[in-house]
A = this chain, B = another copy of it.
Amino acid sequence: MGVSRFLNGFVSGTVCSAFAFIFYNRFTIDMTDEKYTFRKLHAKEAPRLRAVDSGTALKLRGSEILKYGIPDRGLDARLYENHVLCYDQAKKTPIWVAEHITKADLKGPANRRNCNFNIDPTLDPFFTSHVSDYKGSGWSRGHMAPAGDNKYSQDAMEETFYYTNIVPQDVNNNGGFWNRLEMYCRDLTDKFSEVRVISGPLMLPVQEEEGTKKFVKYEVIGNSSVAVPTHLFKVIAAESPQTPGSPVAVGAFIVPNKPIEGSAQLVEYEVKLEELEKSAGIYFLPQLPASKRVDLCSVDSCKLIPQETLELFFITRKLENAETLQRLESAWKDLDRRSLIPDDYMISIYKKKKESLMNK
């Protein structure tokens, strides 16, 4: 009786039928998904769940239990111009953000100076974080899909400034080690025609004292209680598919969300993909069998550009963009402050700029 009443309800009403659609599809996925091969392996142990003839009864019971819908923890994937992400409605940060980087994406006129951090207009406002959560928190707004991977399109770059793509990140880490890791991913396009990167936050437990209990502890900031990750991860999958049969170079990295020494090497943060997957509770590359993978750091040096080079690059940019003599001199003094030695190119920029500013 309850069942037939329920099915009646399904037939009328657009909201209900939308739900029926989702419901049917999700359970179809549940039952037939090729990915879940363990279901087949264990079919004998769980005959009740897998038996084809009991499928319909189970679905009806499921519909009865979930009369008011499948509890909604958000979409599995949110699609943007040049990235895809899954959002954590509880932590108010992304869970993972996926990109596909080619040389073509890295060239173009898009400029981050024209971008502003924004609430994602496609996200339910009930679950968003806000600028006010970050303000005064001591944490910077860290992009998971970096702005710099979207030089080809101002629109795509702007979408990386949505809060759905942002986590609270240590400011030094954000501008330092993590920045260099992002540059490394871009530089991989010199060697591989396609580079896929999945980035996200992680909460890892620590043992407070030897032999004692393990705890996960993380700060939450602002009225929205945005979760500050203890670590950040990147999964890199690089390949040149025009060479048939060549494996995909895969590296998984876990980086603590804190300042990291300029001398640190990327390989120190490499972990087995499976280790990261177990902690995160996510299979990151479900359709790429282990047999088709090769360790990235065995086919590439996994060397980041030196911290010094990065700093020299930033100072050069400051010199080039200085609009007053005062700013020019301040940028020049940065070299001393950081014990950096300018090369001939920098010296020539400094001299030319000084001359032109003095003649103004």
Q: A71-B86, A122-B42 are in contact. Are A80 and B282 (CB under 8 A)?
A: no
Contacts of A75 in B (CB 8 A): 26, 29-30
CA distance A21 to B16 in the complex (A): 23
> Size range of the interface on A?
35 or more
Residues of B within 8 A of A221 (CB): 213-214
Which residues of chain B are near A331, meaning CB under 8 Å?
Answer: none
CB <8 Å contact, A217 and B219: no
Name the distance in Å between A149's Cβ and chain B's nearest Cβ.
11
Cβ-defined partner of A2 (8 Å) among B67, B194, B216, B283: B194
- Cβ contact within 8 Å between B14 and A98: no
Indicate if A59 sits at the interface (CB-CB under 8 A).
yes
Instruction: Check A220–B194 contact: CB distance below 8 A.
Output: no
At the interface, yes or no: A314 with Cβ under 8 Å from chain B? Answer: no
Which chain B residue has the least Cβ–Cβ distance from A193?
A: B2
Known interface pairs A29-B25, A79-B58, A82-B61. Does A72 touch B286 (Cβ–Cβ under 8 Å)? yes
Choose the segment among A89-97, A107-115, A171-179, A259-267 that binds chain B (4+ C-beta atoms closer than 8 Å).
Answer: A89-97
Known: A29-B25, A73-B76. A35 touches B19 (CB 8 A): yes
**Residue interface bits A18-48, CB-to-B below 8 A is 1, else 0:** 1101100111011011111011001001101
Contacts A26-B76, A42-B122, A214-B220; is A35 near B18 (CB within 8 Å)? Answer: yes
Cβ of A68 < 8 Å from any Cβ of B? yes
> A71 near B91 (CB under 8 angstroms)?
no
Q: Which of A191-214 contact B (CB under 8 A)?
A: 194, 196, 198, 205, 213-214
Q: Can you list, as one digit per residue, whether each of A43-56 has a CB less than 8 Å from chain B (1) or not (0)?
A: 00110111000000
A219 nearest CB across to chain B (Å): 5
Q: Are A285 and B217 in contact (CB under 8 A)?
A: no
| A306 interface residue (CB < 8 Å to B) | no
Contacts of A76 in B (CB 8 A): 26, 70, 73, 76
Please tell me if the beta carbons of B48 and A66 are within 8 angstroms of each other in the complex. no
The reply on A299 being an interface residue by CB < 8 A is no
Residues of A within 8 A of B (CB): 2, 5, 14-16, 18-19, 21-22, 25-27, 29-30, 32-36, 38-39, 42, 45-46, 48-50, 58-59, 61-62, 64-84, 86, 88-92, 95-96, 98-100, 102, 121-127, 155, 194, 196, 198, 205, 213-221, 225, 227, 237, 241, 277-288
Q: Would you list 26 pairs from A and B whose C-beta atoms are within 8 A, ordered by A residue? A: A14-B34, A15-B287, A18-B32, A21-B29, A22-B29, A25-B29, A30-B78, A38-B124, A38-B125, A42-B121, A42-B122, A49-B80, A61-B82, A67-B100, A68-B196, A69-B288, A70-B77, A71-B198, A71-B284, A89-B281, A90-B279, A90-B282, A92-B281, A214-B220, A215-B217, A215-B220
